C-alpha cells in the first residue's frame, strides 16, 4: 500500500505547511505557535507555484502504475479522498 498527498494552496488560518526536501514528509504549524504536526507519506505532491502538481502529473504519479498492474492481471484499488479540482 502506498499513501500520497496532493497539497492545495494553504487555507486561511494555517500558519505554514511545508513538505520536506525528499518530498515524503509534511509539517503543519497552526497560528499562535501551536504544536507542529509531522506526517509522512510515500509521496507529497506540491501546491506552490514553483512545484504545483497538475491533474495529469498526479494521475501519472498515482493512478497510472495501478492501471498498468491491472492490465497485467493484478488487482488494484485507488482510493481518493478530499476536495476535487475545479
pLDDT at site 86: 54
pLDDT at site 28: 73
Rounded Cα distance, 32 and 26, in Å: 19
How far does CA 6 lie from the centroid of its chain? 3
pLDDT at site 82: 76
- Cβ neighbours for 59, distance < 8 A, ≥ 6 positions apart: none
Q: How many C-beta atoms lie closer than 10 Å to residue 74's C-beta? A: 9
pLDDT at site 10: 67
pLDDT at site 68: 96
16-19, strands of its sheet edge to edge: 16-19, 25-29, 37-40
Continuous segment of H or E residues that includes residue 39 = strand 37-40
pLDDT tens-place values along the chain, 86 residues long:
888 888 777 666 666 666 665 667 777 776 676 667 788 888 888 766 556 678 888 889 889 999 999 999 999 998 888 766 55
Amino acid at each position: 500500500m502506498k499513501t500520497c498527498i496532493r497539497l492545495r494552496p494553504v487555507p486561511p488560518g494555517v500558519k505554514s505547511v511545508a513538505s520536506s526536501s525528499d518530498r515524503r514528509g509534511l509539517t503543519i504549524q497552526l497560528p499562535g505557535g501551536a504544536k507542529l504536526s509531522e506526517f509522512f507519506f510515500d509521496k507529497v505532491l506540491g501546491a506552490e507555484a514553483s512545484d504545483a502538481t497538475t491533474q495529469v502529473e498526479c494521475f501519472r504519479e498515482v493512478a497510472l502504475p495501478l492501471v498498468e498492474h491491472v492490465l497485467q492481471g493484478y488487482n488494484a484499488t485507488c482510493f481518493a479522498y478530499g476536495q476535487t479540482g475545479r
